[in-house]
Amino acid sequence: MSTELKDPNRVAKAKKLIYAVSIVVPIVVAVLFSIPPIEGLDFSFLPPIYATLNGATAVLLIFALVAIKQKNMRLHALLMQTSLVLSLVFLLCYIAYHITSLPTPYGGEFGMIYYPLLIAHIFLSVAVIPLVLLSYLWAWAGDFNRHKKWTRFSFPIWLFVAVSGVVVYMMISPYYGA
């Protein structure tokens, strides 16, 4: 826990950065789908890696919940920090793949499941960015009451995004390179 972040000016600056990141990341990802892929680079190996990162994040989130229920704050903090790092690595892999590859169309018979799940996953992955970062900020600042309030929303959404990312990958993976 950092005493520096308890300074209201530092918290305000951190919140501004969180809001900026929460706006810039979805815009950058959306722009990726409107530009032609970079040729000459092959990152086609990344989708199973970033699906695994999503799965690992989901598992760590559940372990972090168990840790905090057992009042093991140190383990909880470590698991949450690791989850944040995995989510960042996921984002970097996702961007690397999508700047070098055309979108993969879904060709399965379960479109009535796949598309609503994909849409929910996309919208909630955008919404979860500020929720998770603000939840983390409040814990880091030592404001555990706010942290708990924000976590009631951010945790289930983050867990859904992580799990649905794996399911979406499993559903579309047969169509990569098809």
Q: Is the pLDDT of residue 141 over 60?
A: yes
> What single letter denotes the amino acid at residue 118?
L
Q: Is 43 helix (H, G, I), strand (E, B) or coil?
A: coil
Tens digit of each residue's pLDDT (9 = 90 or more) over 75-125: 999 999 999 999 999 999 999 999 999 889 999 899 999 999 999 999 999
Mean pLDDT of the chain: 94
**Per-residue pLDDT at 2 exceeds 50:** no
Helix or strand (DSSP H, E) at 160: helix 144-172
We report the CATH number of the domain holding residue 44 as 1.20.120
Q: What is the extent of the structural domain holding 152? A: 4-175
Closest CA to 87 of 69, 107, 60: 60
Q: What is the CA radius of gyration of the chain?
A: 18
Tokens standing for 2? 């950092």
Provide the pLDDT for residue 8: 84
Task: Give me the number of domains the chain comprises.
Answer: 1
* Whole-number Å distance between alpha carbons of 178 and 107: 10
pTM for this model (two decimals) = 0.92
pLDDT(17) > 90? yes
